[in-house]
Amino acid sequence: MSDEIKVDKHMDLKGLPCPMPVVKVSKGIKEVELGQVIEAVTTDPGSLTDFPAWARTSGNEILKSEQDGETIRFYIKRTA
Amino acid sequence: MQQAAQQPIEDLREQFDELKAQLESLKNQAPANKISMVVFSGELDKVLAAFVIATGAAAMGMEVVMFFTFWGTPVLRDKNKSVGGKDMMGKMFGTMLPKGTGAVKLSKMNMGGMGTAMMKSLMKKKNVASVEQMMELAADLGVQIFICEMSMDLMGFKREEMIAYPDLTYCGVAKFMEEAANSRVQLFI
């Protein structure tokens, strides 16, 4: 499924602890157009709950998230 | 006949205007998407927590206000600045309190500075941002900082020795309360 999502921007946030992943992705999302998608990769287990909370609050949409060992991959669509 | 039909419309219009006025006044009372924090503590762990919350809130699109008071005040001093003309008490506070974000100690397990040094090296190892870095990030994200004038005066700090933070205001409790009353979240750290 994931190869069907067209990614416009990649963000490598591996190794960054709280609050950096959310801070960086909130900046990164402003660098893409409405409707475009960011692929953000983190290793912070807290981001599993933090990213959805950030998305709900900021009005953006997480299309998909997948965990592979320590790596967590989010596909976030700018909708706000 | 026509007049009789007009009356209910007039009544409705009156009610509509009244509701509109009520809605307007409610709108003005609704708190903004803002967080107001009192940073009372001047220790590494607590100041770090305050900045983590501040930058996180800013990332979530909130307006952020940090009001530094009492032991929080010396954290905003610039380590490279010094001013003269202080009285004895002012000099004493100036020497005994941390000078800036780099000099803050842990609130627990400081162990004469050893604990703080260990925590700092652990933070570096784990990629956790230092208080200095967090403050830079906060500035970058537009976090507003207020400094309590009364604490400054009490401890003999002068404006010339404080950091050059982009959005810095010297104020009193009324300014903080104005911000806090208009915020969805208020914290005391």
Could you give the C-alpha distances from A72 to A37, B38, B85, in angstroms and in order? Answer: 16, 35, 56
- Residues of chain A with pLDDT > 70, as a percent, come to 96
**Domain tally for chain B?**
2
CB contact under 8 A, B58 and A58: no
Same domain, B104 and B171: yes
Same domain, B47 and B13: no
CATH of the domain at B65: 3.40.1260.10
- Spell out the residues 6+ positions from residue B132 whose beta carbon is closer than 8 angstroms to its own: B101, B102
Average of per-residue pLDDT values in chain A = 93
Same domain, B13 and B42: no
Average pLDDT score over residue span B37-43: 97
Average pLDDT score over residue span B18-47: 93
What is the residue range of B49's domain?
A: 32-188
- The alpha carbon dihedral of B173, B177, B179, B184 has a sign of positive
Average pLDDT score over residue span A60-72: 95
CB contact under 8 A, B60 and A26: yes
CB contact under 8 A, A26 and B59: yes
CATH of the domain at A9: 3.30.110.40
Same domain, B168 and B137: yes
For the segment B122-163, what is each residue's pLDDT rounded down to a tens digit? 999 999 999 999 999 999 999 999 999 999 999 999 999 999
Q: Is A63 a catalytic residue?
A: no
Same domain, B63 and B145: yes
Average of per-residue pLDDT values in chain B = 93
Same domain, B26 and B40: no
Which chain B residue has the Cα nearest residue A54? Answer: B60
Same domain, B60 and B112: yes
CB contact under 8 A, A18 and B55: no
Shortest alpha-carbon distance between residue B85 and chain A (Å): 41
For the segment B63-78, what is each residue's pLDDT rounded down to a tens digit? 999 999 999 999 999 9
- Report the run of H or E that residue B154 belongs to, with start and end: helix B149-155
What is the residue range of A64's domain?
A: 2-77
DSSP letter (8 states) at residue B128 = P
For the segment A33-56, what is each residue's pLDDT rounded down to a tens digit? 999 999 999 999 899 999 999 999
Same domain, B21 and B72: no
Which chain A residue has the Cα nearest residue B138? Answer: A23
For the segment B51-107, what is each residue's pLDDT rounded down to a tens digit? 999 999 999 999 999 999 999 999 999 999 988 888 988 998 988 999 999 999 999
